[in-house]
């Protein structure tokens, strides 16, 4: 069980002084679903990107902590007591990913020439390797020499502990079936020419394969038709139910929350969490918009 | 002089070596490409008179042609002193045994070999354990395999001796005459080594024909000539050189490639080259394609200080087809000016050009292309696509597509994109667990994928590896 904790987080755009986050406090635990709602420009996406380590933002105050448990990554990696809490702001995006943070993008990049299979297996192995480095560094392990490609060079070599091509194919196939994705996806280039819905489905697929402790899903429901919304929602629920992932679901609409029922709902206004509550809060927002929150919190409309 | 030449005729290797040493000094004092030098090369190769005459005519043309200076945005060739090349030619001719010593190679090249995992045999070839011998062996094996079908694959020097009629007809006559440009003329005068490929009518050579051992150690490898003749209905895939960096004591590579694609024949010419970074790489490569024939150019250009290379197809017969896939990579201090030329001289001809370039650390890439559709080449079509990828704001990339369309019933498409490696793309991959370097490598590997998928796997791997090494800056 992992816990992500944002304390008094302030952030601005790195090459300007536009303040975007002005003291965000938030906690998400494994197994929980949190919905983060709010009008455009309130800082929802920035919060997501800052958690994942996007270089466009400068953190001026506050902290982003990730607390892990002893056996967070299964029995094979035992985490020492002094390595159970990490300040994510000190870490590179890939290190955060290795610690179990996943960001589902609203607009995922399209990478031509890189097949889904190749990408996902590379990512999975990179994560395993990075994890080893993060947790075994102190034991003074010497860095392994890159000895070049020894087996299948196009796919990279298979080191001990890595997921091989055949093994990975099986994992991928299974997860794609769960998400009702066409098997042709495996050989398509990463997001290239994907429809909006396919991209979102792909984000959930990646989360399912990388098995994060905490997944931040940035408007994963935007641009989805009702069928696809249901598929994606099932995928998200499976993340929580089967892998115990904690979900921070950023959304504008109540719609997805009909399928992915949140434990907690937060309303963001002007770079802060203005109000938190249960699922009923989302319904109220759907009916009444955000102005009443503003009124409620600041006394102005 | 004459006594020395007499000496040469009945000499053994050692004496020959001695002779060259003397000449080397003589040439140095007598700067410039001279008739004397050309005669020596020809004599050394024991060439027939007609080849010597061609060399001398090429030399004359070379001397009468000005250096190209008026191309917009052309690479700066001012650092290239052609006069200085001459003294360098001799040592290379001397070294039939190969480059003196592996240990004399610059570290960056040795490192590259190690990192690429180039086989020992090749290292030996480069280090001078009889590359010539080794390469003869390679040619020999190939010959045995195909000779029953009448396929010829041998060293170009040998082809002059053994297949004079074929060579006489095709060598720098109609395809790349020395008058084509100054460096073609230079090439015609000093060429040495290279490959000769002949595929008879209707024969398909299933395996790619690879000239893998043809490195510097073969002699004047930097002026190698490749002549491919594919008769009607035949099919062959020729892969030039190996992708290892070629190292020469001199800094000019001026190769010549001529391809004759017969009716309904199909030739693919692939090359992956990586030059040492003091090399001026100025080549002329051209194919003449008869009706129904298909020519495919696949090339990866790495290394060099400046490269000017525009493989050209002349679509001479009805329904001839051309495909160009090219990739260029320019790092610090490099100017890679490559592209393609296609002449549509007959109806229903088609061409596609796909050019990819990557620039980094202030390097420059330029796509320079010419598509000419002649009056009467109706129902022809061409599609040109240039994509440039830049790593940083210091690097530059230009696109200079020229289209000369003289026929109205044609289909012409051109598309160019220039982009910086996107921060968002990198962040996306990082957020999935790849570190910054691996993310960039993955993006670049994807970018060049259209090239690598055209190559046999070992070349694709080496190309990928080379680009990774370039990106790590470990080539210096």
Indicate if the pLDDT at residue A230 is higher than 70.
yes
Q: Helix, strand, coil: what percent of chain B each, to 5?
A: 35, 30, 35
What pLDDT does residue A262 have? 95
Q: Any idea where the domains of chain A sit in the sequence? A: 2-108+213-298
Contacts of A190 in chain B (CB under 8 A): 446
Q: Do B425 and A97 touch (CB under 8 A)?
A: no
CB spacing of B428 vs A105 below 8 angstroms: yes
Residue spans per domain, chain B: 13-309, 425-475
Determine contact, residues B164/B48, Cβ cutoff 8 Å.
yes
Residue A193 in contact with partner chain B when CB distance is under 8 A:
no
At A285, phi and psi to the nearest 5? -65, -40
Which chain B residues are closer than 8 Å to A153 by Cβ?
457, 461, 464
From A96, A113, A153, residue closest to B446, measured CB to CB = A113
Q: Would the CB atoms of B428 and A109 count as touching at under 8 Å?
A: yes
B420 or B52, greater pLDDT? B52
Q: Which residues of B touch A55 (CB under 8 A)?
A: 423, 427
Strand B294-303 with B312-315, pairing: unpaired
Q: What is the mean pLDDT of residues B228-257?
A: 78
As a CATH number, domain A2-108+213-298 is 3.40.50.300
Chain A environment of B434 (Cβ under 8 Å): 94, 122-123, 126
**What is the pTM for the complete model shown?**
0.76
Chain segment B341-360, per-residue pLDDT in tens: 999 999 999 999 999 999 99
For the record, the structure tokens of A99 come out as 């610690």
Q: What whole-number distance in Å separates Cα of residue B221 and Cα of residue B255?
A: 9
Q: How confident is the model at residue B109 (pLDDT cuts 50, 70, 90)?
A: low
Lookup: tokens for B326: 């090219």
3-state helix, strand, coil in chain A (%, to 5): 40, 25, 40
Residue B249 pLDDT class (50, 70, 90 cuts): low
Smallest Cβ–Cβ distance between A112 and the set B116, B447, B457 belongs to: B447
| Residue A153 sits at the chain B interface (C-beta within 8 Å) | yes
- Specify whether the CB–CB gap between A3 and A29 falls below 8 A: yes
B432, B435, B446: residue with CB nearest A112 = B446
pLDDT digits (tens, 9 = 90+) for A39-51: 988 999 999 999 9
CA nearest to B453 within chain A: A113
A233, A300, B331 from A230: Cα distances, Å: 5, 38, 48
When mean pLDDT is compared over B400-404, B444-448, B462-466, the highest value belongs to B400-404
Name the residue among A111, A127, A210 with its Cβ closest to that of B425: A111
CA diameter of chain A = 67
Mutate to test the interface with A, among B113, B433, B444 (most CBs of A within 10 A): B433
B86 contact A CB<8A? no
Q: For residue B471, list chain A residues with Cβ-Cβ distance below 8 A.
A: none
Q: Does A122 touch chain B (CB under 8 A)?
A: yes
Q: Across the A/B interface, how many CB contacts are shorter than 8 Å?
A: 99
For residue B468, the model assigns a pLDDT of 79
Partner-chain residue, chosen from A97, A119, A154, that has the shortest CB–CB distance to B431:
A97
Tell me what percent of the residues of chain B surpass a pLDDT of 90.
Answer: 44
Q: Are B99 and B128 in contact (CB under 8 A)?
A: yes
Per the DSSP assignment, residues forming a β-bridge with B87 are none
Q: Which has the closest alpha carbon to B353: B404, B313, B293, B395? A: B313
Q: Which two tokens stand for residue B306?
A: 């400046």
- Whether B470 contacts A93, CB under 8 Å: no
Across the interface, of B425, B434, B461, the residue whose CB is closest to A154 is: B461
Lowest mean pLDDT among A163-167, B186-190, B241-245, B453-457: B241-245
A290 touches B: beta carbon within 8 Å:
no
Chain B residues in contact with A126 (beta carbon < 8 A): 432-435, 438
Measuring CA to CA, which residue among A175, A212, A217, A204 is closest to residue A97? A212
pLDDT at B93 over 60: no
Say yes or no to pLDDT of A111 above 60. yes
């Amino acid at each position: 069980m992992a816990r992500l904790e944002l304390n008094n987080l302030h952030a601005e755009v790195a090459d300007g002084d536009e303040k975007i986050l002005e003291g965000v406090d938030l906690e998400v635990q494994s197994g929980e679903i949190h919905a983060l709602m709010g009008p455009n420009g309130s800082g929802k996406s920035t919060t997501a990107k800052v958690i994942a380590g996007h270089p466009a933002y400068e953190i001026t105050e506050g902290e982003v902590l990730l607390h892990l448990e002893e056996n967070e990554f299964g029995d094979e990696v035992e985490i020492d007591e002094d390595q159970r809490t990490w300040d994510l702001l000190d870490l590179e995006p890939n290190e955060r990913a290795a610690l179990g943070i996943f960001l589902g993008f609203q607009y995922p990049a399209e990478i031509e020439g890189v097949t889904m299979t190749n990408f996902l297996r590379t990512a999975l192995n990179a994560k395993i390797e990075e994890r080893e480095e993060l947790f075994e560094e102190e034991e003074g392990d010497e860095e392994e020499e890159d000895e070049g490609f020894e087996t299948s060079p196009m796919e990279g070599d298979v080191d001990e502990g890595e997921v091989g091509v055949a093994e990975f194919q099986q994992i991928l196939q299974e997860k794609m079936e769960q998400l009702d994705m066409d098997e042709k996806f495996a050989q398509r280039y990463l997001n290239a020419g994907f429809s909006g819905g396919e991209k979102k489905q792909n984000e959930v697929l990646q989360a399912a394969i990388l098995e994060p402790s905490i997944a931040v899903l940035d408007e994963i429901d935007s641009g989805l038709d009702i069928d696809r919304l249901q598929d994606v929602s099932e995928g998200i629920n499976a993340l929580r139910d089967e892998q115990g992932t904690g979900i921070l679901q950023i959304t504008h609409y109540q719609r997805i929350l009909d399928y992915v029922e949140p434990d907690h709902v937060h309303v963001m206004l002007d770079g802060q969490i203005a109000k938190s509550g249960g699922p009923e809060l989302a319904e109220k927002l759907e009916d009444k918009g955000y102005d009443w929150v503003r009124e409620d919190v600041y006394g102005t409309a | 002089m004459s006594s020395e030449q007499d000496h040469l005729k009945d000499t053994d290797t050692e004496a020959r070596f001695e002779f060259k040493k003397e000449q080397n000094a003589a040439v140095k004092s007598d700067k410039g490409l001279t008739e004397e030098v050309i005669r020596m090369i020809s004599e050394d190769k024991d060439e027939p008179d007609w080849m010597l005459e061609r060399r001398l005519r090429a030399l004359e043309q070379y001397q009468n042609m000005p250096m190209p200076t008026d191309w917009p945005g052309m690479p700066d060739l001012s650092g290239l002193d052609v006069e200085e090349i001459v003294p360098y030619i001799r040592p290379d001719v001397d070294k039939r045994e190969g480059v003196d010593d592996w240990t004399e190679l610059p570290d960056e090249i040795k490192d590259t070999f190690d990192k690429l995992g180039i086989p020992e045999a090749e290292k030996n070839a480069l280090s001078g354990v009889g590359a010539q011998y080794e390469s003869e062996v390679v040619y020999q094996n190939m010959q045995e395999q195909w000779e029953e079908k009448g396929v010829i694959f041998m060293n170009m020097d040998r082809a002059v001796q053994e297949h004079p009629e074929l060579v006489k007809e095709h060598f720098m006559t109609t395809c790349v005459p020395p008058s084509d440009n100054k460096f073609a003329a230079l090439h015609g005068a000093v060429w040495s080594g290279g490959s000769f490929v002949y595929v008879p009518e209707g024969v398909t050579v299933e395996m790619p024909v690879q000239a893998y051992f043809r490195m510097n150690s073969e002699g004047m490898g930097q002026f190698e000539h490749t002549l491919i003749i594919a008769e009607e209905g035949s099919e062959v895939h020729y892969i030039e050189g190996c992708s290892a960096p070629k190292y020469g004591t001199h800094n000019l590579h001026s190769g010549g490639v001529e391809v004759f694609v017969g009716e309904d024949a199909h030739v693919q010419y692939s090359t992956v080259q990586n030059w040492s970074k003091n090399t001026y790489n100025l080549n002329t490569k051209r194919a003449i394609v008869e009706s129904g024939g298909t020519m495919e150019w696949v090339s990866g250009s790495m290394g060099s200080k400046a490269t000017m290379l525009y493989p050209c197809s002349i679509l001479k017969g009805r329904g001839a087809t051309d495909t160009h896939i090219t990739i260029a990579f320019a790092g610090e201090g490099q100017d890679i000016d490559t592209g393609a030329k296609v002449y549509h001289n007959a109806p229903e001809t088609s061409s596609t050009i796909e050019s990819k370039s990557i620039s980094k650390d202030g390097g420059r890439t330029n796509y320079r292309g010419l598509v000419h559709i002649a009056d009467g080449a109706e129902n022809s079509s061409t599609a040109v696509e240039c994509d440039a990828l830049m790593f940083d704001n210091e690097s530059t990339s230009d696109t200079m597509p020229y289209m000369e369309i003289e026929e109205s019933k044609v289909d012409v498409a051109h598309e160019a994109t220039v982009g910086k490696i996107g921060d968002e793309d990198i962040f996306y991959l990082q957020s999935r667990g790849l570190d910054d370097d691996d993310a960039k490598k993955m993006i670049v590997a994807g970018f060049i994928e259209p090239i690598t998928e055209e190559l046999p796997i070992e070349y694709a791997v080496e190309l990928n590896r080379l680009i990774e090494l370039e990106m790590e800056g470990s080539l210096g």
